[in-house]
Structures are given as structure tokens and as C-alpha cells.
Amino acid sequence: MAVQKLVIANWKMQLDLNGSIKLAQDLRLAAEGGGLLEHTDVVVCPSFEALATVADLLEGSRFKVGAQDVFWQEKGAYTGEVSASMLRAAGAELVIIGHSERRKYLNEDDLTVNKKMRAALAQGLVPVVCVGETYEERTAGHTDLILMRQVIEGLKGIPLDRESRIIIAYEPVWVIGTGQAIEPSEAGHASDVITQSLIDLYPGDVVEHQTSILYGGSVDEDNIGSYVGLPKIHGALVGTASLNADKFLRLIHSI
Ligand code: PGA
């Protein structure tokens, strides 16, 4: 039996409400025509502003909806924040946590990732934790250490019940948005390091059945097959190439 693949579209802050509506409508229409691959789940992550509208537009289709961030508290005086239950109510099933842009521009660290993971899991959202080295960390030869630290500190002490699932997205920070992805063999090595870190945290059967690893960073229709074909990489997190419906559907069909 073929293993189910996963493609997550991260729309970042690239589209306003009208742009998000248009892309969701285009995707739905195009997918109805050609049909999505049976063995690929597809999740789109619009901005908070567009989340509920996009979820309504895609209801009943093969597309699911996720969020790009979550706050760790459930309710209270936290100006500007959005809780996991609010995301659920808006239609999200999954949430990206600790994306490198949030680590860079909003000073998020492994501790905030850990708190956000707990909040997401408590509300039944699937957390997609982004890990990856910067160019400086890579050239200093610290890639493996960074990955181990981000996985172990980000997930430390988090129990996983039978229904819960965790996704780790390996995204080398220095290739995001550049159009220049890394060698598949490097992504394969990173997926081994991440798996080993997960095995340090959870029993082997939990790692096997309740966690999965994606690759992200300049994924496009030409290169996606070389990552998603790797033994431990189950899918991709896609930014730029997810902003055009035809392009994105071609990418999905190229797996
Ligand atoms: P990219 O972005 O596909 O444009 O490199 C990926 C991401 O940041 O998740």
C-alpha cells in the first residue's frame, strides 16, 4: 500500500483577503477538474484574516486548512494573539509552529515552540514544527547539533496520546525563498538526525506511526519528487510555489 504523502502550502503574508479567496477558488476548481492524487493530503495555510473564509470555501473538497502560528494561552488579556481553540473554530486542523521567519523576526525560541506545541495538541491541532540551520550555522558545521537541539528542546516533556500526531518540517533557513533548494542527500541526512532525536524522546512505534518529516525550502514542481521520494521524508512545506493554483497543482502531481 502506498504511504500517504502530505503537502502543506504556507501562504505567509503574501495575499490579502481577496487574493486568498481567489487562490482558494482556483484550487478548488482546478482540483475538481483534474483530481488530486489519491495518496496526497494537501493543507493550505492562509493568514489569520482569511482563515475562516478559506476554510468555508474549501469545505467538502480534498483540501484541508491550517494556520501559520498559534499563541500558547487559551484565553485572556493577550493583545493581538490567537488561541488554538479559535483556530479550530475557524476551521484549521493543523498549525505551523516556530517557522524560521518567526524565530528571526519575532525572537521565537525552542521554549515558545514547546509551549505552542502543547497548546496546539491540547486542542487537537496537528503541530508542524519547523527546524533548520542558518547559513552561518551550516558553514560552522553545526547543522546536526542545531537540528537535535530544536527537536529535543521544542518537544521536551510533551506527552503524545494515541490520537495525536506531530510533524517536523526540515527547512534549511538559508534556502527559503531563494529558488535554490539543497541536495536531496543533505535533506536525507537531516531526516536521519531528526528521526534519531525523535527516538530519544518517544518509543520507536510512536515515532513510526505518529510523527512524520517534511522538507521545505524552495520546493517546486521540478524538485519535489527528489525529496518526497526519500525514505524518511513524507511530504513538503511549500511557500512561493504554492501561490499560483496551476503551479501548485502541478507540484502536487509531480510527487
Ligand atoms: P519557499 O518557502 O518555498 O518560498 O522557500 C518555504 C517556507 O518558508 O516554508
pLDDT over 90 for what percent of the chain? Answer: 91
Q: Which atom of ligand 1 is nearest to the CA of 96?
A: 9
Among candidates 8, 1, 3, 2, which has minimal Cα distance to 224?
8
Q: What is the mean pLDDT of residues 138-149?
A: 97
The pLDDT value recorded for residue 1 is 44
- The residue whose C-alpha atom lies closest to atom 3 belonging to ligand 1 is 239
Q: Give me the count of residues in the chain.
A: 255
Q: Look up the pTM and report it.
A: 0.96
pLDDT bucket at 67, cuts 50 / 70 / 90 = very high
pLDDT bucket at 76, cuts 50 / 70 / 90 = very high
The pLDDT value recorded for residue 38 is 73
Instruction: Please indicate whether residue 219, judged by its CB atom, sits closer than 6 Å to ligand 1.
Output: yes
Q: Please tell me what DSSP assigns to residue 152.
A: H
Instruction: Please indicate whether residue 68, judged by its CB atom, sits closer than 6 Å to ligand 1.
Output: no
The pLDDT value recorded for residue 254 is 92
Residue located via cell numbers 514547546: 114
Pocket-testing residue among 7, 238, 243, 252, ligand 1, by greatest number of atoms within 8 A of Cβ: 238
Instruction: Please indicate whether residue 240, judged by its CB atom, sits closer than 6 Å to ligand 1.
Output: yes
Q: Which atom of ligand 1 is nearest to the CA of 241?
A: 3
The pLDDT value recorded for residue 25 is 96
Q: How far is the CA of 45 from the centre of ligand 1 (A)?
A: 12
C-alpha cell at 119: 497548546
**Spatial contact of 4 and 233, defined as CB atoms under 8 Å apart:** no
> Above 80 in pLDDT, residue 179?
yes
Q: What are phi and psi of 125, to 5 degrees?
A: -90, 145
pLDDT bucket at 4, cuts 50 / 70 / 90 = confident
Instruction: Please indicate whether residue 169, judged by its CB atom, sits closer than 6 Å to ligand 1.
Output: no
CA distances from 58 to 7, 29, 41, 165 (A): 16, 10, 13, 23
Reported as a single tens digit per residue, the pLDDT across 26-52 is 999 988 766 566 789 999 999 999 999
Cα atoms in the Cβ-side hemisphere of radius 13 Å centred on 161: 7
- How far is 88 from 67, CA to CA, in rounded Å? 9
**Residues with catalytic annotation?**
99, 171
